[in-house]
Amino acid sequence: MFLGRVIGEVWATRKVSDLEGHRLLVVEALDTGSGPPAPMVTPVVAADPLGAGVGEEVIVAFGKAARVACGGDGDFALEAAVVGIVDGHQLNAGESA
Amino acid sequence: MFLGRVIGEVWATRKVSDLEGHRLLVVEALDTGSGPPAPMVTPVVAADPLGAGVGEEVIVAFGKAARVACGGDGDFALEAAVVGIVDGHQLNAGESA
Amino acid sequence: MFLGRVIGEVWATRKVSDLEGHRLLVVEALDTGSGPPAPMVTPVVAADPLGAGVGEEVIVAFGKAARVACGGDGDFALEAAVVGIVDGHQLNAGESA
Amino acid sequence: MFLGRVIGEVWATRKVSDLEGHRLLVVEALDTGSGPPAPMVTPVVAADPLGAGVGEEVIVAFGKAARVACGGDGDFALEAAVVGIVDGHQLNAGESA
Amino acid sequence: MFLGRVIGEVWATRKVSDLEGHRLLVVEALDTGSGPPAPMVTPVVAADPLGAGVGEEVIVAFGKAARVACGGDGDFALEAAVVGIVDGHQLNAGESA
């Protein structure tokens, strides 16, 4: 799982039927490490069963965890989902948000 | 899942039988992040059950999600597939496409 | 699995029900390689069934391994967990901790 | 799945029994992206059920897909395999091979 | 799977019970590519059912493959394992070891 920020939304009319009815968010990883900045990584597209808004901090899970989060039985054409909307975090460098 | 652009197609006569009849696209990740450019990553080869064209923006899923998208029961020698063809996206920096 | 250090904790009130009752740690990878420093990678969010403290060195596992570690049966919306709290390591460059 | 080139072969006498009889190739990712060069990534070791030669372009799959490609039932100590030997590819920058 | 070198060992008294009795090695990826050096990646912690020594070249597998290699039935809190100890490799640049 990773800590990310919702930076937008994506729409697809032509899609596999399992994705019908799922909001698809674009989430970028937050670099909360203690060292020099990590290189940016390209954002992830995650289904959102929780109703996160753009700008919110979220926890994203992959694979079966994402399918379970979306109510699937595991046989589901989806492999990333928001599993939590973050209230706050406390990092050892003293940063809190 | 990630947001990518179809940059081409690949053909293989000698392949495992599960890949017969599947169009195989070469997809590169779109860097839609809000920060400095992410380092490029090498493209992915994805099966395409939806008929995406070169230049189109797509959502790619991995693992079991890809096998389900291609109609498999999970026991399938394939682990990346196009699961959506993107109509548009809205990113918080105001970019929309 | 990877060797990491716990750098903080994250809280989410709105989350999928499978995450209820799990402490969620932010863990960054330790660069124990013998060569030049590896680029930093963005930290991982891991469930913690062992009670690791901030600053402790831990082993993190992904996927089904993480679900098993947290007592799940595999159908669990969680894909990273602390599976060990490190007492020490011995690396061939002679570093030990 | 990714597009790679076979750069060599590796031998192991001491190995888990599931690997007996499998040729193990070293495959490096081809950087076919349209932008600036991607950073090199360290090569992958893949089982080869198809008989690819050194220098040939191949498609490599991971996880269950690889086990299925090698004739396993999924309970198999192997997680990368050549699933196709490439005849050619057409990329939108006009490059073809 | 990847080709790595054992650079050390890690000990954990507090760990999930599935890890009891498993030697845990720290393995770093070997950069055997033909191009410019790949950026270093942070090392992996892998269970070792084969008895590899520090300094030896090994093949590491992830996920279910690792659990099978360690004798598990798949429901096992472990996701990386040494599956082969390398006798030698031949790479197309003529390097052999």
Q: Which domains does chain D have, with CATH numbers?
A: 2-85 (2.40.50.220)
Size of interface B-D (CB pairs under 8 A): 127
Does residue D73 carry a pLDDT above 80?
A: no
Closest-CA residue to A43 (of C25, B31, E21, C80): B31
Which of B2, B85, B91 minimises the CB distance to A12? B85
Q: How far apart are CA C48 and CA C25, in angstroms?
A: 7
Q: Which of C14, C57, C73 to mutate to test the interface with A (most CBs of A within 10 A)?
A: C14
Q: Report the percent of chain E where pLDDT is more than 70.
A: 89
pLDDT at B40: 63
The distance of E73 to chain C (nearest Cα, Å) reads 12
The answer on pLDDT for E73 being more than 90 is: no
Residue C47 and residue C43: Cα distance in Å, rounded?
A: 13
Measured distance CA(D28)–CA(D79) in Å, rounded: 16
E84, E58 contact by CB (below 8 A): yes
Q: What is the pLDDT of residues A10-38, one digit of tens each?
A: 999 999 999 999 999 999 999 877 777 76
> Hey, are the CB atoms on E45 and C69 less than 8 Å from each other?
no
- Coil vs helix vs strand at A71: coil
- The average pLDDT across B87-91 equals 90
**Contact between chains at B8 and D91 (C-beta distance less than 8 A):** yes
State the number of CA atoms in the 13 A half-sphere of A4 facing the CB.
31
CB contact under 8 A, E62 and D79: yes
Which alpha helices (DSSP H) does chain A contain, by range? 64-69
- The alpha-carbon gap from A58 to the nearest alpha carbon of chain C, in Å, equals 8
The winner for highest mean pLDDT among A44-53, E64-73, E85-94 is A44-53
Q: What is the pLDDT of residue E19?
A: 92
Measured CA angle at D79 (ends E89, E27), to 5 deg: 55
Q: Could you tell me what percent of chain E has a pLDDT over 90? A: 67
Q: What are phi and psi of C25, to 5 degrees?
A: -100, 150
Q: What value, to the nearest 5°, has the Cα angle with vertex C71 and ends B74 and B61?
A: 30
Residue D54 pLDDT greater than 70, yes or no: yes
Residue D9 tokens read as: 């072969």
pLDDT-derived band at E40, boundaries 50, 70, 90: low
Calculate the average pLDDT of chain C.
88
| Residue A40 reports pLDDT greater than 70 | no
Residue spans of beta strands (DSSP E) within E16-65: 24-29, 44-47, 57-62
pLDDT band at B1 (very low <50, low <70, confident <90, very high): very high
- Among B34-38, C4-8, E3-7, name the one with the lowest average pLDDT: B34-38
Residue A95 has a pLDDT of 53
Predicted pLDDT of residue A94: 52
Lowest mean pLDDT among A58-72, C20-34, E30-44: E30-44
Q: For C31, which residue in chain A has the nearest alpha carbon?
A: A35
What percentage of residues in chain A have a pLDDT greater than 90? Answer: 67
Q: Which residue in B42, B56, B73 has the most chain D C-beta atoms within 10 A of its own C-beta, making it the best mutation to test that interface?
A: B42
**Residue A93 predicted with pLDDT over 60:** no
Name the token pair of B55: 């230049």
User: Residues C43-78: pLDDT tens digits?
Assistant: 899 999 999 999 999 999 999 999 999 987 677 889
The three-state secondary structure class of A65 is: helix
Q: What is the pLDDT of residue B95?
A: 53
* Residue B39: per-residue pLDDT: 67
Report residue E55 CA to chain centroid gap: 12
Nearest CA among A25, A11, B75 for reference residue D75: B75
Q: What CA–CA distance (Å, rounded) separates E62 from E77? A: 12
Q: Is the pLDDT of residue C97 over 80?
A: no
| Residue C50, amino acid | L
- Angle among Cα E97, D15, D61 to the nearest 5 degrees reads 85
Is D55–E92 a contact, with Cβ atoms under 8 angstroms apart?
Answer: yes
3-state SS, residue C63: coil
From chain A, the residues in CB contact with C55 under 8 A are 92
Asked if C64's CB is within 8 angstroms of E63's CB, the reply is yes
Residues D89 and B26: beta-carbon distance below 8 Å: yes
Residues E80, E47: Cα–Cα separation, whole Å: 6
pLDDT above 90 as % of chain B: 67
C-alpha neighbours within 13 Å on the C-beta side of residue D19 = 32
pLDDT band at C34 (very low <50, low <70, confident <90, very high): confident
Optimal mutation site among E5, E68, E73, E85, interface D, most CBs of chain D within 10 A: E68
Looking at per-residue pLDDT, the higher value among B62 and E97 belongs to B62
C65 token code pair? 């391994």
Which of these, B73, B84, B66, B86, lies nearest to B22 by C-alpha position?
A: B66
Closest CA to D86 of D96, D76, D74, D73: D96
The verdict on a CB contact (< 8 Å) between D2 and B43 is: yes
Look at B39-53, B83-97, E18-32 and tell me which has the smallest mean pLDDT: B83-97
Given a cut of 80, whether residue B72 has pLDDT beyond it is no
Which one has a higher pLDDT value, A49 or C32? A49
E94's CB contacts (< 8 A; 6+ apart) are none
3-state secondary structure of E91: strand
Compare CB distances from D88 to B11, B16, B40 and report the shortest one's residue.
B11
Rounded to an integer, what distance in angstroms lies between the CA atom of residue D9 and that of residue C97? 36
User: Whose CA is closest to A51, among A65, A68, A63, A69?
Assistant: A69
pLDDT band at C40, cuts 50/70/90?
low
Binned at pLDDT 50, 70 and 90, residue B76 comes out as confident
Please give the model's pTM, rounded to 2 decimal places.
Answer: 0.90
Please report the pLDDT score of residue C10 as a whole number: 96
Return the pLDDT at A11. 96
